[in-house]
Structure 1
Amino acid sequence: MHATHDSQHVPNIEETASRPEAPLRVAILWKFPTLGLYSNAPFSALFNGIGHNNGNLAFVYAIKNHITNPVNFFGWSTSPEQLQESADIIVIPCANQLGKHTDYGSMASNLEKSGLPIVAIGLGAQADNYDHDIQLSEGTRRWVEVIAKSTKTCNIYTRGPYTSDQIEKLGINGSVVTGGCPSYFINPEPKLGQRVAERWSQIEVPRSISVAAGHQAWLHTREIEHQLIALMMDPACPGQYVVQSMEEMVKISRGVFEGISDHNIKALRNHTVPHYSFDEFKSWCNNYARSFYDVPAWMDSLRRYDLTIGTRYHGIALALQAERMGLTITIDSRTRELCENTGVPHIAAGDIKGAITRSNLKRMIKFDSAKYDLHRSSAAARYRQFLMANGLQPAGYLSRMATIDMPS
């Protein structure tokens, strides 16, 4: 059983009253605040601009809109001197950085030399499941320690209690606020759950489907992927196959097949439409595979579909923010934790038995709109208090979301 951290102390705004009235200048460690005219950009520039995963755009967009301080954007390798000159505080939009797949030793040194307070928002731990502890490189361990020691406030907003527990097991105490993903608060409507539920209740059987695509190396979810694609390819109600990662997957969504090895092309085809020839597979990609490079366009696309479903949390989360139903198929601790702490409907891949049909999809999805809105309101209040305690000025709509009136 993991601690819920409900009783942890978050310094309130009165405790920060001694700070100067002028808002702190914020350095957000994300190199590209916008990708500009991305329709004409080369693939390599786009792929680097999204941090190698389109899902990153969701929480970066959210954080940018949640903070009203003067903000500038900087790359992760920005020198300590430039950070000192340009900012009073550093904000790091985080993903599942706490795992054996990362080594942030160089960034840890840069951050430490800057001497600035650091706020990490949305930090997650990655393991196979909640029964396993994370494994960290020495560089990443030092990185999270540098962040924690940079200020006396609770300055690490995690994706959930599992991540908070894992950080505390590293010997880091008093720095963590258990939250969720800031993309939970993109839509400013306080009663978002009610809007999602009202539309979903009018749909007897979901017709048009957007698939949040997995990865061709995930063999354990391949049969699920095939079923979702078959549902998506309805001739009367065609859907879309929205990719987020990895490089080969993102390439096929842009119609870029050059540079993909024959081995990877075969793996991509086998994961999606294995009964197609390679030429037919390329045509299928052009017709159905999509990727997005700004959040409003992504959300606007999702509004066209009755349901978004798949193994990518942010692809599903954005559907709910666009006031449409979504279902995440969880595959590890990070996706499960995100769903549990942001109210996104979810089901474990291992719990899916038998065929996936439109009818049982409707039965699979359990969504209590009142519970969702109350949870989101409580989370918004905690998130807003976290921002203020760290000298960050929250957007006004977070206050409205934090104080909703619900029927008794």
Structure 2
Amino acid sequence: MKRILLRSGKSPFDVFPVEEALHQDVIATNSGNLIFSDASHKILETPGTEVVANGMRTEVAAAERINEEYDAFVVPLANAFRPSFEGSLKRLTRLIGRLRIPVVVLGIGAQAGLNYNAARLKPMEATVREFVSAVLDRSASIGVRGEFTEQYLKDLGYRDVEVIGCPSLFMYGKELTVREKAQELTAGSRIAVNGSHSAVQKQGLDQVIDRAHARYPHLTFIGQNLSDARQLHWRDLSHANAEVTAIPTHPDHPMFREDKVRVYIDPVTWIDDLRGYDFSFGSRIHGNIAALLAGTPATVLCGDSRTLELCRYFGIPHRRIDRTTPDLDPAQLYEEADFTGLTGGHLERFERFTGFLDRNGLENTFSHGDGGASFDARMRSLAFPPGIRPWNDADISSLTSRFGWLQTRITELTLDNANLKRELERGGGKPVPGSASVYRRARRVVGRPIRKALQSGKQ
């Protein structure tokens, strides 16, 4: 049995209660990450291959164990070439540098503006070079999202670069069907809208959402950030994103009060719910890919190179967000949306993707397995929590699960403190050999008020 270690926040088969999912941040700050990691897991799982999620941990010290226990390390990435990710990229490079097994990168992207100017990436060029060189020392090529990232790496002197898009749109293999559009959207249409805090605050998406909310009573905003989820479930406003009150995930927004907001911690429920919508639009690329996987027409409002290059590669209907106006009606986007390129070119792109896997020594379920049938059957057997809704009520059932989880956490922290005290007494106030795990946990707790230790539970 071949074993693949997959960089992923969690296994698709892990079912977490909402409180625990938010506490552990299994979505790695953005639930869109799970769309492409779940797709990668499904694609790579064959009768002769076991796929194991690493929980997004980059433990350099674990390199030798990884070498002994796994046959390959597969790293699905999105916009990893960006200044804010440089520290994480460096840690990932240090880990890869110690690996002797193949390392395969799926769909990495460079983030710049809509003009494709890579000047902002110049300060991290050395970090990018070290990462790409480490990967190419252990693979035949590196898979990138689209044209901009391909040119960026070629300008740095790399030639073994392949445009493969993102694994997410290959979740169903060579099949990708988008429902035929109705004649037009009406006040009775169900519409999903998505958007980042930046798009709402700086790119005018707030005005588009407000006007759509007035026109379409069945509009639903779908957030993706961990802070969005915590605002919905806990009314936690401790994150800096809470300063953006114009986004519907904020408790002061009318869509929050009207229960017209959702955040999903599992792609399966996200995609299933979107099957019931007529249209999806907004600036979140994976929010709209989730809709397309559900067969629901969608249009992306592109705000940067990472979304633009992916839309161009896949033929996803899109519009530059800097060319939208506050009175943009989703009905106009719906009318303009043409899915011919997306569905008509899907087979060719799928074969290019599986060819990339073949050249890098990876089997896929569609060519070497059951086409994902066993994966899908196992997913259907699990009971995932529904999308997180705004906490607008105070009934007993809504309080029980939250307070029950908080009580459990308080008990755990109390035990940790007791264990720490015993270890300190044994060691005369100094660390005792073998107590490292206690100290690691204690550092996160001791010296903080309970309200900070339970920040994810603050209302």
| TM-score, normalised via structure 1 length | 0.79
| Structure number with bigger Rg | 2
1:180 is matched with: 165
Q: Aligned equivalents of 2:265 and 2:324: distance in 1?
A: 31
Per-residue deviation at 1:116?
A: 1.6
Superposed, 1:137-286 pairs within 5 Å as 138-151=126-139, 153-154=140-141, 156-174=142-160, 176-188=161-173, 190=175, 192-193=176-177, 195-196=178-179, 198=180, 200-203=181-184, 205=186, 207-216=189-198, 218-222=200-204, 224-232=205-213, 237-245=217-225, 247-260=226-239, 265=242, 267-272=243-248, 280-281=252-253, 284=256
Q: Runs of 5+ in structure 1 lacking a partner?
A: 1-22, 402-408
Q: Aligned equivalents of 2:302 and 2:366: distance in 1?
A: 33
Aligned alpha-carbon RMSD (Å): 2.8
1:73 is matched with: 53
Provide the aligned length of Structure 1 versus Structure 2: 358
Given candidates 327, 340, 348, the residue that maps to 1:378 is 348
Per-residue deviation at 1:279?
A: 6.6
**Structure 1 residues 132 and 283, CA, compared in 2 at 3 Å: closer, same or farther?**
closer
Does residue 71 of structure 2 align to residue 88 of structure 1? yes
Q: Aligned equivalents of 1:357 and 1:129: distance in 2?
A: 22
Q: Aligned equivalents of 1:184 and 1:100: distance in 2?
A: 27
**Structure 1 residues 312 and 359, CA, compared in 2 at 3 Å: closer, same or farther?**
closer
Give identity over the alignment, percent: 22
Superposed, 1:41-80 pairs within 5 Å as 41=20, 43-45=22-24, 48-67=25-44, 68=46, 69-74=49-54, 75-77=57-59, 79-80=62-63
Q: Runs of 5+ in structure 2 lacking a partner?
A: 372-459
Q: Which amino acid aligns with 1:322?
A: A
Per-residue deviation at 1:230?
A: 3.6
**Structure 1 residues 111 and 359, CA, compared in 2 at 3 Å: closer, same or farther?**
closer
Asked whether the equivalents of residues 59 and 181 of structure 1 are also in contact (C-alpha less than 8 Å), the reply is yes
Per-residue deviation at 1:344?
A: 1.4
Q: Aligned equivalents of 2:63 and 2:167: distance in 1?
A: 27
Does residue 10 of structure 2 align to residue 32 of structure 1? yes
- Measured against aligned partners, the alpha-carbon deviations of 1:211-239 in whole angstroms (never above 9, x if no partner) come to 112215753323x333224424667x423
Report which structure shows greater RCO (CA 8 Å, sep ≥6). Answer: 1
1:334 is matched with: 306
- Measured against aligned partners, the alpha-carbon deviations of 1:159-198 in whole angstroms (never above 9, x if no partner) come to 0121111112222222x111111111123462x34x42x2
**Structure 1 residues 95 and 233, CA, compared in 2 at 3 Å: closer, same or farther?**
same
Asked whether the equivalents of residues 239 and 305 of structure 1 are also in contact (C-alpha less than 8 Å), the reply is no
Asked whether the equivalents of residues 381 and 399 of structure 1 are also in contact (C-alpha less than 8 Å), the reply is no
1:97 is matched with: 80
| TM-score, normalised via structure 2 length | 0.71
Structure with higher helix content: 2
- Measured against aligned partners, the alpha-carbon deviations of 1:120-145 in whole angstroms (never above 9, x if no partner) come to 00101101134412332633431222
**Structure 1 residues 252 and 218, CA, compared in 2 at 3 Å: closer, same or farther?**
same
Per-residue deviation at 1:111?
A: 1.2
